[in-house]
Chains A and B, each alone.
Chain A
């Protein structure tokens, strides 16, 4: 008997200890770190989610309420000019004008209607109201109205009916469809890709070769060239815009082209602006690769080119991926270089430029702006999530030590 009680006691003590351990393991610093991290994640995610939700909302709802109300019904005031005398039909001795206040929209519910801006919801849905043109009007909850009069309508200008409508939440891809089809955003999307993909790949190709040479080949002035590259990191690109453009224009004249604004030109410009950082990043990474691997490959008979393609490139993938993300984002979001070297004509306008022009011309159409903005950020997001695992992953496991 005693043995049983003892073991039960022991269990209780163990449990107590475990609870205490769990409690004792909480550290204030860790908790703060996690809270801070959570806050940063929220700060980054919230605007993106907001943008996405907004871009998917119905454009009328978008205009009147914030994205966080997207799931609840919203109320909106509206006005519709109803039909003129030309639309009347004679029916059993009455003259009737029929229609719907909401047009073809089906997600609205009438909250009330009236004749003046001051009293937009003077009458309940289903009720009727006398019109100054004669007769009475009644509006049903779905917005369908019936204006009847004993005498023939003669007015030539439809009176305005004000109303209060409840809009049921509605999500739609219409905004995207509209932006992509009717506003030239699709064209700009393609243009942006045409600029960005070569402008990312070309500098990486060049920089990888240069970085290998600067890290692992012996030749005179190597240290000087590395220093020069580091120096070029801090040269502002605005400084070289005008000289470069002049050069392009002279070249264009030489070859009889219209002007110097071509895709090739902007690829080369982005390449040149990106190269110092690319070479610097990749060289620093490659220098850190184990020397023994290269030496082993040399003894195995590999040439510099073989070592580069067979050893250094695959092992440098994390660095290549990091730089691709940097360069891709920078070129994708760039406006200045694109405006200078490609211009603002519709057929060559990049997405950032398009967004600017939309802000100017369709500044009140939020549905256009949010959808356009989200189209702009979705590509960098995809690129980032596709490559981010290489940031963390080490590729050298098992090689040395």
Chain B
């Protein structure tokens, strides 16, 4: 029955703001997070994404507006009473306690019966392949194992909402991918418990999220599914932030024929020909990745234009090249960075 109750879980941020003295870090944030959703907060460093997460956790006081969890305003409720669990970037394991005690700590504080603690910890350890390490101290574990203990500590509390604060940024590249998949699987296994995940890595955001919330300077820039953001960015900022390699932005005279201040085209939405096209330039660098290649073209702008071609490319540095965008894939922006319909 508990699973059914969870479906109503809903996070609602209304006009939420946070100031430190005179500095406004979060500016009137309005956001609905649906139950069972994997929501990712993404943005450049200093955009307020971690602060927003800490406000939801209750680690930072909310200066203005309201935060509702399951329809109740929880602004002044203690972190432990909000039904949330948090996984920190630095793991924040209790170094003097064994893995078992780390995971059991919250239940012990809540005076749960001993056999319940043991069965819950054992279940979480099983799920995260931590069973052989239960009696070890955090110092005797590898980085990936520590991260799993941190996640296990959150699972044991059986929260309504999981909060992740850049949990992968301390791991090396290979481990990062593996743990990312593990978190996605965890979301499935936990019957789609609501998860809020903060990252500055847009690849993580794209691969994990049901919906992404792009933040910039303490404001919500755009909220939508990863494909929404990729295909229909509502601002120049989102357009350039989401996607790798970055969207090509072409300004000035070369954008005039398209009736826009700035034209944005993704590298895979261009065609190349040796003669004749909308734009032309000189190849300055090529990257052959096997399945596809990236051609870097200097066309008199600050940043080179990157064009993706299938297979390997025959172009070399110094070659003259012509290329044009696919007509229905161009993004046009006005001088304020807003899209032109």
Contact = CB atoms under 8 A, between A and B. Distances in A.
Nearest to A306: B109
A399 B91 contact: yes
Contact of A401 (B79, B81, B90, B109): B90
Given A295-B92, A296-B86, A300-B109, A397 B139 contact: yes
A398 B96 CA distance: 9
A219 to B, nearest CB: 14
B138 A398 contact: yes
Contact of A302 (B92, B96, B109): B109
A306 B110 CA distance: 12
Nearest to A396: B95
Contact of B92 (A292, A306, A314): A292
Contacts of B153: 296, 300
Contacts of B157: 300
A370 B236 CA distance: 85
Contacts of B90: 290, 292, 399-401
Interface in B77-91: 78-81, 84-86, 88-91
Contacts of B146: 398
B272 to A, nearest CB: 46
B80 A298 contact: yes
Contacts of A298: 59, 78-80
A400 B91 contact: yes
A296 B92 contact: yes
B95 A297 contact: no
B309 interface: no
A395 B137 CA distance: 11
B80 A397 contact: no
B94 interface: yes
Interface string A278-321: 00000000000010110111111110001000110011000000
Contacts of B209: none
Contacts of B96: 314-315, 395
B95 A299 contact: no
B140 interface: yes
Interface string B128-146: 0000000001111100001
B92 A399 contact: yes
A303 to B, nearest CB: 8
Contacts of B92: 290, 292-293, 295-296, 399-400
Residue in A299, A302, A310 with the greatest tally of chain B CB atoms within 10 Å: A299
Interface string A94-138: 000000000000000000000000000000000000000000000
A59 to B, nearest CB: 52
B164 to A, nearest CB: 13
A13 B105 CA distance: 61
A198 to B, nearest CB: 27
A368 to B, nearest CB: 48
B79 A299 contact: yes
B139 A293 contact: no
B80 A301 contact: yes
Contacts of B80: 298-302
Interface residues of A, number: 23
B76 to A, nearest CB: 15
B31 interface: no
A399 B59 contact: no
B57 interface: yes
Contacts of A306: 109
B74 interface: no
A315 B95 contact: yes
Nearest to A294: B92
Interface string A259-285: 000000000000000000000000000
A301 B106 contact: yes
Interface string A380-401: 0000000000000001111111
A63 B314 CA distance: 100
Interface string A172-208: 0000000000000000000000000000000000000
A301 B80 CA distance: 5
A297 B170 contact: no
Interface in A352-401: 395-401
A399 B140 CA distance: 10
Contacts of A296: 86, 88, 92, 94, 153
Nearest to B101: A310
A399 B85 contact: no
B93 interface: yes
Contacts of B78: 298, 301
Interface string B56-76: 011100000000000000000
Nearest to A302: B109
Contacts of B109: 300-302, 306
Nearest to A400: B90
Contacts of B137: 397-398
A302 B94 CA distance: 13
A298 to B, nearest CB: 5
Contact of B93 (A295, A299, A399): A399
Contacts of A310: 94, 105
Contact of B57 (A297, A299, A395, A397): A299
A306 B88 CA distance: 20
Contact of B110 (A301, A395, A399, A401): A301
A350 to B, nearest CB: 37
A248 B87 CA distance: 55
A148 B139 CA distance: 86
Nearest to A311: B94
Nearest to A315: B96
A395 B88 contact: no
A347 B110 CA distance: 53
A301 B157 CA distance: 10
B138 A299 contact: no
A321 B300 CA distance: 67
Contacts of A398: 93, 95, 137-141, 146
Nearest 8 CB-CB pairings of A with B: A398-B139, A301-B80, A292-B92, A398-B138, A397-B139, A399-B95, A300-B106, A400-B90
Given A290-B92, A295-B86, 6 more contacts: A292-B89, A296-B88, A299-B80, A398-B93, A399-B92, A399-B95
25 contacts: A290-B90, A290-B92, A293-B94, A293-B95, A296-B88, A298-B59, A299-B80, A299-B106, A300-B106, A300-B157, A301-B109, A301-B110, A311-B94, A315-B95, A397-B95, A397-B137, A398-B93, A398-B138, A399-B90, A399-B93, A399-B94, A399-B139, A400-B90, A400-B93, A401-B91
